[in-house]
Amino acid sequence: MKKELYMLRVGMLTSGGDCQALNATMRGVAKSLYKSDKEVEITGFLNGYRGLMYGEYRVMKPSDFSGILTTGGTMLGTSRQPFKLMREPDENGMDKVEAMKATYNKLKLDCLVVLGGNGSQKTANLLSEEGLNVVGLPKTIDNDIYGTDMTFGFQSAVEIATNAIDCIHTTAASHSRVFIVEVMGHKVGWLTLYAGLAGGADIILIPEIPYDIKKIADAIRLREADGKRFTILAVAEGAISKEDAALSKKELKKKRLKNAGRYPSISYEIGDILSGETGVEVRVTVPGHTQRGGTPNPFDRALSTRLGAHGAELILKKQYGRLVVLRGTEVTDILLSESAGKLKYVDPESTLVNEARLVGISFGDR
């Protein structure tokens, strides 16, 4: 079929923290667009929204999207541009939103594709409300974007965090100790919950279920009474005690600043207190940013390809202001405004949490 003379111009950026399947998702968008009956020009903005603000970009070639399905990170680079600062001028007094709109219009873009998490999609929705054609793709290892059952990057991160717990199991079997594996997740516990389940953790602590340190100590003693020589805790970096959960934001911030010099993270605080409560040695392992890195696993490669293809379909149909999502096993889309500003939390009363309790996992709350 002969291609139309009209040039379809699409901008693309990756924003926020990196993850394993960003390149795979961009590939899904690009390959689908190139296979259409349109002449397509894709412009990649460098380092997230910063590239859109300051006109830092490069025109991509079809070859740029070859051989990147298995490559982690993002070939465009990324940066964090907090949504709450988007309406504030930069250090030179530049209006960030107007600058992004100016770049978009200067390049005569038909659509902007935003691959990012909650903050990035809030900005995508803002630009959509400002009159730009935007399509969002849900990226985050935290799996906390409202409206989608799964985000790309999540399953790859689960695999890495689970492997860390698996590795701890082999040394745990040799020592009578308590081992803590700290998993990423400041506000939600999806990653810790899934990795804890998959890795056979005995105790899982997530932000949505405030813990009682004495209940955790009781769970450890119960295992000792049953002849278990070790205990493994999967702890989200945002895990919080019942006492701290009852504090105001101001009080909590003050307490954390006070403890910052003593404890590098919550896991070390929990470990220190548990040592005193149980008399057992506690060791802490923090996989950290390894959870964002490496090659995307097969699930994420397939999901990213599907999400990217659907995003391209929205562009070709001129259906903008949408966020591509996974519902059950089907890829579909919702309004950006339906998701923007909302987090998808773990429900403490969900069947998932209940099933974990049924197999004997403690959440440190009862």
User: Any known ligand binding at 292?
Assistant: yes
User: Any known ligand binding at 27?
Assistant: no
Catalytic residue among 18, 142, 300, 333: 142
| Distance set, CA 141 to CA 121, 145, 244, 315 (Å) | 15, 10, 26, 25
Structure tokens belonging to residue 278: 């149980």
User: Any known ligand binding at 25?
Assistant: no
User: Any known ligand binding at 80?
Assistant: yes
User: Any known ligand binding at 262?
Assistant: no
User: Any known ligand binding at 159?
Assistant: no
User: Any known ligand binding at 334?
Assistant: no
User: Any known ligand binding at 290?
Assistant: yes
Scanning the structure block, which residue is given the tokens 């009363």? 349
User: Any known ligand binding at 295?
Assistant: no
Q: From edge to edge, which strands make up the β-sheet containing 39-45?
A: 57-59, 39-45, 7-14, 111-116, 134-138, 322-327, 330-335
241 contacts 210 by C-beta, under 8 angstroms: yes
335 burial via Cβ count (<10 Å: 0-12, 13-18, 19+): middle
Residues ≥6 apart with Cβ < 8 Å to 152? 19, 21, 22, 24, 25, 137, 138, 139, 296, 300, 303, 304, 307
User: Any known ligand binding at 283?
Assistant: yes
135 contacts 113 by C-beta, under 8 angstroms: yes
User: Any known ligand binding at 117?
Assistant: yes
Query: Side-chain half-sphere of 187: how many Cα atoms within 13 Å?
Result: 11
153 contacts 188 by C-beta, under 8 angstroms: no
User: Any known ligand binding at 81?
Assistant: yes
| Distance set, CA 159 to CA 179, 195, 253 (Å) | 19, 7, 32
142 is catalytic: yes
User: Any known ligand binding at 20?
Assistant: no
User: Any known ligand binding at 32?
Assistant: no
Q: Which residues are annotated as a binding site for ATP?
A: 17, 80-81, 117-120
**Residue ranges for the binding site?**
17, 80-81, 117-120, 140-142, 177, 184-186, 237, 283, 289-292
Residue positions forming the annotated binding site for Mg(2+): 118
Tell me the binding residues for substrate. 140-142, 177, 184-186, 237, 283, 289-292
Give me the active site residues, please.
142
